[in-house]
Amino acid sequence: MAVEADSLIVPEWPAPARVRAIMTMRSFGDASVPEARSRLRRHAPPDPAWLRQVHGTRIVCASEASGAPEADGSVARAPGSVCAVMAADCMPVLFADVAGTAVAAAHAGWRGLAAGVLEAALDAMALPSQSVIAWLGPAIGPSRYEVGEEVRDAFLDRDAGASRAFVPTRPGHWNLDLYAVARMRLAARGVRSVHGGGYCTYSEPARFFSFRRERTSERMAALVWIAGVESPPP
């Protein structure tokens, strides 16, 4: 699934060697503050494309992003241009293609996932779906993510098959499996190489921040980029 070292998760996915990806853990510190972002320079190129995430579907070009644009994902094709998203229960999803020509990152909470942020990231990559691989990063797990009718309706209005990702808990409430929905959405677009998942930010407080558990503003960061020929592994 992934390798953990130095307070970082390094995805285990079949990305080409020139594609690099990491995700910070709780022990790395709050990735939304300058001190932690400064330490990220030891592991990734400088100046990732930080975003002002709004639970939408807008994807920007990482190399052109400045001043934290309002978006929930970015795409990059140039070496050293870093796509970055932050999360603390929402699901970070990283993308690459098998040739290492493009990468993308998406912030997929329930609103963005229902509205199509993963599909928007694939559209921004503009590559054949069968050449794309995806990694699903740490998110709140299905046993801890109870939602109401408005959330379920938002998914079922778009795809009745999404009902498989909801397990009834009490009248008008269900546990939602974000990972299952993501896999369904990616499969519907022809992406077959999907990795990661299986985490639960809520139930693993030593490893992850969780907004639902702690009402915290602290965040973890997931980054992906195409390395230059001289770049060492993260």
Q: What is the CA radius of gyration of the chain?
A: 17
DSSP per-residue string spanning 140-151: --GGG-EEEHHH
pLDDT of the residue at 39:
94
- Give the pLDDT of residue 1: 53
What pLDDT shows up at residue 228? Answer: 79
CB 57 within 8 A of CB 74: no
CB atoms within 10 A of CB 150: 9
* Per-domain boundaries in the chain: 2-141+191-226
Parts of the chain with a pLDDT under 70: 1-3, 229-234
DSSP conformational letter for 233:
P
Across the beta sheet with 173-176, what order do the strands follow?
Answer: 146-148, 173-176, 166-170
The first and second tokens of residue 178, run together, are: 């974000």
Residue 6: what pLDDT?
73
Helix, coil or strand: residue 104: strand
Predicted confidence at residue 230, as pLDDT, reads: 52
Q: Which fold has domain 2-141+191-226?
A: CNF1/YfiH-like putative cysteine hydrolases (3.60.140)
pLDDT at residue 98 in the model? 97
